[in-house]
Chains A and B, each alone.
Chain A
Amino acid sequence: MSNPPANAARRRAVRGPAGFVLPALALLLVVLVWPLMQLLYRSVMTPTFSFEKYQGLLTDGVSVTILTRTIVMSLIVTVVTLLLAYPYAYAMTKVKPRTRAVLMALVLLPFWTSLMARTFAWLVLLQDTGVVNALLSAVGVGPLSLIRNSTGVTIGMTQVLLPFMVLPLYSTMSKIDLRLMTAAVSLGATARVAFRRIYLPLSMPGVVAGTTLVFIMSLGFYVTPQILGSPQQAMISQLIATKIDRLLDFGSAGALSAVLIVITLVLLALMSRVVKPSEALGTTGAEE
């Protein structure tokens, strides 16, 4: 039976949000999209149309190295984050709501302080004479070099990015019907087989969403490798910054940014074939 008032309300609900996002979209257009277009424009107008700046990236002896390193570093961080987040998110689905709230708060902690403050905190903790090395020395390991190398950068980035892995994983896992596992075991599967054949495949949308998000965000990191790494860990954002503020070479910076944007868009397109973007962000996650 049709219900006219409800339909009208639904129509309003559809039109309403569109209006609500307009200010945000307008802001993005002015402060993000427009400058970005300028940067891309400068990368091909040098001053006449050419791909000179892009060719320059191949021959400048550093862009390719740093781009490759950025991708490798992002992969490492993504894998480490996934290994930490998967059991964590699983545990979140198994505990009582109050414990879950605590676990959720812990994972969201990074959002409560500025990235700079947190990164400097890591610097203090991890330096040669820091707390971590004092503890390691006390048990006979170390002191180890934990900063100004990949270890420091991985630790710093992993902590910042953990929420972006945990949230989509939890969102997916909380919707998995655990009775399926019980059923599998009752049909003779071992716990390991049941996990591999049932749980893992069902949790894959979360894994894909989480890894893609974390990987893409890793690509753009600036502060963490700058503070916890050395020039040998320099990532692409640092190179873009050097090109802008030391070399005033907006064209090459634009070309590098374009490369980064293309990588990101390709990854997002691939992800969207596996999992809906809304699921990736956990917006349809079942909250009790």
Chain B
Amino acid sequence: MLPKKLGVVAVGAALALGLSACGGGSTPESKPASETKSMTFVSFGGAYQDAQKKAMTDPYAAANKITMNQDGPTDYAKIKAMVESGNVLWDVVDADPFFAIGNCDKYAEKLDFSVIDTSKMPKDFVSDCAVPSMTYSYVLMYNKEKYPTPPQNWRDFFDTAKFPGKRALQNAAQGGGYEAALLADGVSKDKLYPIDYGRAEKKLDSVKKDLVFWDSGAQSQQMMEKGEVDMLLAWTGRGYNAVKNGAPFAPQWNENMAVYDVFMIPKGSKNKAAAMKFIAYATGAEAQAKLTETIPYSPINSDAKPTVDALIQSFLSTQPGVQEKGIVQDQAWWAKNQDEATQKWTAWAAG
């Protein structure tokens, strides 16, 4: 899930936290978990964080007699400013993998895998400073009424002759647009990385006049509900919401891109030990099942068996048969190339 860009970015606030930036570096000793009486959980806000509160932080707080403060939304500039100023106020953050992986041991603490059990998680999703917090997919959603013969893959998404109509992508380098364009252009699933920007942008240019962009998940949902576009790349969770609200859309799982959020601990958290314990709980089978029962994101713990209705089930990226059809976005590559890719994408989209 990408940071919400709507709303003025609190640049001033972020920098104000970094006032004593020059003195950063000396990390205060983290106390033992038993001494932590309260810590701060940060996520992307909205329905997602509400669900995490219900499934994860509330039960954990009750069982461990600890206060779990909620803050947000996740803001990487703020994490940077906090770490640099040596005044880290956040203890557990739900983040994009690229940030935690790319800044491992710089802005993110190394995780203690003697406390956090990763054996039930998808191996690709685990790295030194980040474990998955849930998973979902970028999926091609199409209007069933407009296209009785559904688009089969990203090649069809880019075929405006066979499938006329407006389409939408997320306005973010890592939003799946590059991968979709390359798959459409005939690049095989295992040859997507490193991203060939030139080739991808040429493909993207070919539909630019029929293309609009969404920045927030809410915008993508609105596009489906108001019929503003005929097909789009959307997050499965937003696809579910739109369909539940009556949008005549359906997911095409072919070439879906599996992505996930991670839990990370900002470097220098004063409650590091307690934060590890919380992450161990939040990635456990019980908390993961409860999360999926509250919001249609898929569990990352293979023991989690959520009880959900058929519609939610149809949007879970962990349902049988879906993973084989798709790809997993290469978070290690994205962590290394986030800056360059963002500059390329911003320049392309703005041009």
Contact = CB atoms under 8 A, between A and B. Distances in A.
Contact of A231 (B21, B213, B342): B213
B32 interface: no
Interface stretch (A1-9, A29-37, A160-168, A178-186): A29-37
Interface stretch (A200-208, A245-253, A266-274): A245-253
B227 interface: yes
A258 B315 CA distance: 47
A247 B342 contact: yes
Contacts of B18: 38
Interface of B: 3, 5-9, 11-12, 14-16, 18-19, 21, 75-77, 80, 171-172, 212-213, 215, 226-228, 338-339, 342-343, 346-347, 349-351
A227 interface: yes
Interface residues on A, range: 35 or more
Given A127-B226, A232-B349, A247 B343 contact: yes
A242 interface: yes
Contact of A34 (B6, B16, B342): B16
A239 interface: yes
A226 B8 CA distance: 10
A247 B6 contact: no
A128 B16 CA distance: 42
Given A65-B350, A222-B8, 15 more contacts: A35-B15, A38-B21, A39-B15, A61-B347, A127-B228, A129-B226, A223-B6, A232-B349, A239-B346, A240-B11, A244-B11, A244-B14, A245-B76, A246-B172, A246-B338
Interface string A89-127: 000000000000000000000000000100000000001
A81 B172 CA distance: 32
B347 to A, nearest CB: 4
A230 interface: yes
A62 B11 contact: no
Interface of A: 30-32, 34-36, 38-39, 60-62, 65-66, 69, 116, 127-129, 148, 222-223, 226-227, 230-232, 234, 238-242, 244-250, 253
B123 to A, nearest CB: 28
Contacts of B349: 231-232, 234
27 contacts: A32-B12, A34-B16, A35-B15, A38-B21, A61-B343, A62-B343, A65-B351, A66-B350, A127-B226, A128-B227, A128-B228, A148-B212, A222-B8, A223-B6, A223-B7, A232-B351, A234-B350, A241-B5, A241-B9, A242-B342, A242-B346, A245-B75, A246-B76, A246-B338, A247-B339, A247-B343, A250-B15
Contacts of B346: 62, 231, 234, 239, 242
A31 B213 CA distance: 34
B60 to A, nearest CB: 29
Contact of A39 (B7, B11, B342, B343): B11
Find the residue from B8, B14, B346 having the highest chain A CB count within 10 A: B346
Contacts of B342: 242, 246-247
A231 B9 contact: no
A241 B76 CA distance: 12
A286 to B, nearest CB: 36
A35 B3 contact: no
A223 B16 contact: no
B12 A226 contact: no
B212 A60 contact: no
A244 B9 contact: yes
A88 B221 CA distance: 39
A37 to B, nearest CB: 10
Contacts of B338: 246-247
A245 B12 contact: no
Contacts of A240: 9, 11
A207 to B, nearest CB: 30
Contacts of B215: 226
Nearest to B16: A35
A246 B344 CA distance: 13
A226 B5 contact: yes
Nearest to B102: A248
A232 B348 CA distance: 9
Contacts of B75: 245
B75 to A, nearest CB: 6
